[in-house]
Structure formats: C-alpha cells, structure tokens
Amino acid sequence: MKNWHQLYKQQQFLPLWWSIFINPFFIVRRGLYLNIKKYAPLLQGKLLDFGCGRKPYQDLFQVEEYIGLDTEQSGHPHEGEERSQIDVFYDGNTIPLPEESFDAVFSSEVFEHVFELEHSLSEINRILKPKGKLLFTTPFVWDEHEIPYDFGRYSQYGLKHILEKKGFTVINISKSGHFITTLTQLQALYVFHLLRTPNKYLNIVLCTLFITPILCIGILIGAIFPKIRSLYLNTIVLAEKN
C-alpha cells in the first residue's frame, strides 16, 4: 500500500485521470506515459535506462535486467532515493559498459541535456547488440529547464537525420500533443511558475484551484477542434541498430 508521498511522486510521471487535480504538467506527462507504455513491450532482454534519474518508468518494462545510467553532473542533484537508483555513472565521453552488451536502450527527456548528442548516440550504438532497440522521448516545445544543462530542441527530421548518421534505422516517430493541447500546457506551465511556492502541499491546492481549470478547458477544446500537429510537446522515437 503506497503512502501519500509515494502516490504523489508516482502520479507526476504515471498520471491517471484524477492526477489532473495535483499535477500541473498533466498533459505533457500523460502523453509521455501513454506513448512509453505503448512501445515498452517491444523492448526485451537486457535494458539500459540512459539518464535514468529515479527510474520512474521502470515498471512499464518487462525485461530480464534493467540497468540505470546517469551522469554525476546534471541540472538537478542526485541525492537520496534518486542516487540509489543509479547503477552506472557516465562521464559524458565513454559509457563504462562492454560492446554489444544490451538488447535495448530507453531514454526519456534526456537528449535535450546532451551537448554532444551524436557522440552519445555512437556510444549507445556501441553497447547495443545488432538489431537492438532504442526508444526515447525528447521535447519539441518546452521551457528551459535543469539550467544550465539544457542544450537543444530537435524536430522529427533532425532526429531522423542524426540517428541514421549514427547507425540506426528509425522504425517509428510519434508526436505527443497538438496545437491546442500544447498551448494549454504552456499556459498551465506559466501559471505554475507564477504561483509556485516552497510548500508542496500549498502548491497542490493552488494547482487544483488555478491550473486544473486551464487543463480541463484546454483538453475539452482540443477534443472538439481539428488537431493540427505542426506544434506539439514531445517526440517519441523507436529505432533499431543497423
């Protein structure tokens, strides 16, 4: 049985419908969760979570072994529970793991923080077995975060070009969100920044009172009007090592 603190943390990344009342990032996190859940069964065997943090999506994967990798230096501190989830530390140059030792690599909302993405993709390619799968998500529209380690935003075409250059074949590219839901989430994000306090419980109350209505109205409007997907929140990519 989860306590309230555990449940609250879980709903930040694995949001059920009711977490719209406590999660100011409901639209973006719900989209990520549903897309990762959709593709997770395609990853099997031994999996590396690249930029794992506290491994919020681990339970979505049914694999033989789940290894978490992260960097010592990032835009948020690795302390307590999060640090205990990291199995391997990456210096940004060489992943300290043998060649062709993993069947799959997963990474969520990490590549925008990698300054030399092509180099890291070469390293990911090196540790993947032939035909190994790479599943990752990265933001297309979002504010600066984990400053100063926020280096890039990539279109689907840019990602495809880099992946093919580094020895991958793109199997599928999906978009999370569309014009209306993206603008809605950004409006909610703006209000969140305006109202945020050091008190977590007060923030939940403020979210329910001021942010939840924005999210609900935006989701309703987005369901009625045509979905234009040239503006969206996240890109979800499934690729395979050549």
Give residue 9's pLDDT band: very low, low, confident or very high (50, 70, 90): confident
- pLDDT over 70 (residue 235): yes
Give residue 4's pLDDT band: very low, low, confident or very high (50, 70, 90): confident
| pTM of the model as a whole | 0.93
Percent of the chain predicted with pLDDT > 90: 89
Q: Average pLDDT, stretch 222-226?
A: 97
Give residue 81's pLDDT band: very low, low, confident or very high (50, 70, 90): low
Q: Give all domains of the chain, ordered by start, each with its CATH number.
A: 4-241 (3.40.50.150)
Q: Average pLDDT, stretch 117-125?
A: 97
H/E stretch holding 128: strand 128-139
Give residue 79's pLDDT band: very low, low, confident or very high (50, 70, 90): low
Structure tokens at 57: 């999506």
- pLDDT over 60 (residue 23): yes
Structure tokens at 188: 């909610």
- pLDDT over 80 (residue 63): yes
Collapsing DSSP to helix, strand or coil, 168 comes out as strand
Q: Are β-strands 102-108 and 65-71 bridged in parallel, bridged antiparallel, or unpaired?
A: unpaired
- pLDDT at res. 94: 95
Residues 6+ apart with CB under 8 A from 109: 32, 51, 137, 138, 139, 234
CA-CA distance, 218 to 180, in Å (whole number)? 7
Q: Between 71 and 140, where is the model more confident?
A: 140
Task: Label residue 98 left, alpha or beta by phi (over 0 means left) and psi (-120 to 50 means alpha).
Answer: beta
Q: Average pLDDT, stretch 196-202?
A: 94
Average pLDDT for the chain: 94
- pLDDT over 90 (residue 34): yes
- pLDDT over 60 (residue 101): yes
- pLDDT over 80 (residue 2): no
- pLDDT at res. 109: 98
Q: Average pLDDT, stretch 48-67?
A: 97
Give residue 46's pLDDT band: very low, low, confident or very high (50, 70, 90): very high
- pLDDT over 80 (residue 22): yes
Q: Average pLDDT, stretch 37-66?
A: 97
- pLDDT at res. 184: 98
- pLDDT over 70 (residue 56): yes
What DSSP character marks residue 30?
H
Name the residue type at position 133: K
